[in-house]
Structure 1
Amino acid sequence: MTDRHFLLVCDDVPQDVVLTDPGIRVMDVVQVVRRLTGLSLWRGKILAAQVPAVILTCVSEEDAAAAVSALRDAGARAETRGQPEPDFLKH
């Protein structure tokens, strides 16, 4: 039996959403984190206090941009970061 490996090709590079600074309206940011992740308020507050914090991983570029926009509207600084290329794809 041989092992077969398949490479899935997609148009969207998976993105991470990273909270870099919660700003002064921390509870507003925690509410957004809760809405985006489904975490409790307590866990969202802990996550917001440990910056830089990855809020979402491997989401589409469109979803990542919407999440960053929501976090910025709440007074936070956030950014998207592309997922690195897996080692087995590097030649």
Structure 2
Amino acid sequence: MADEYFVLVCDDVPHDVVLTDPGVRVMDVVQVVRRLTGLSLWRSKTLATRVPAVVLTCVPEEDAAAAVSALHDAGAQAETRERPEPYFPTR
């Protein structure tokens, strides 16, 4: 029994939100990153200026799309990426 693996199945594949370009309105993007992540202003600015940066990880597709839309509205370029399936080795 100790050698059994269990695979959790869920309907929604987790997504990451990746900031690819902060654009020209960097402080607006920093405010959006701060609102999305809950980080301090300094850490949000550091995250927004070092691109490509993963802003959110393992979020549902709807939340990722909303975050990307908020970043686009602030003038940034962002995208969602599906997280790859975990690899479970078998014998």
TM bin (shorter chain): over 0.9
Distance in 2 (CA, whole Å) between partners of 1:41 and 1:18 is 19
- Deviation beyond 3 Å, 4+ runs, structure 1: none
Aligned residues: 90
Instruction: Tell me the amino acid that sits aligned with residue 46 of structure 1.
Output: T
How far has the Cα of 1:3 moved from its partner?
Answer: 4.2
Q: Please, what TM-score do these two structures have when normalized by structure 1?
A: 0.92
How far has the Cα of 1:5 moved from its partner?
Answer: 2.5
Unaligned runs of 5+ in 1: none
Distance in 2 (CA, whole Å) between partners of 1:89 and 1:82 is 21
Q: RMSD of aligned C-alpha atoms?
A: 1.6
Find the residue that maps to 1:23 and give its secondary structure: coil
How far has the Cα of 1:62 moved from its partner?
Answer: 0.4
How far has the Cα of 1:38 moved from its partner?
Answer: 0.2
Distance verdict in 2 for CA 1:65–1:89, change over 3 Å: farther
Q: Please, what TM-score do these two structures have when normalized by structure 2?
A: 0.92
Tell me the percent identity: 79
How far has the Cα of 1:86 moved from its partner?
Answer: 1.4
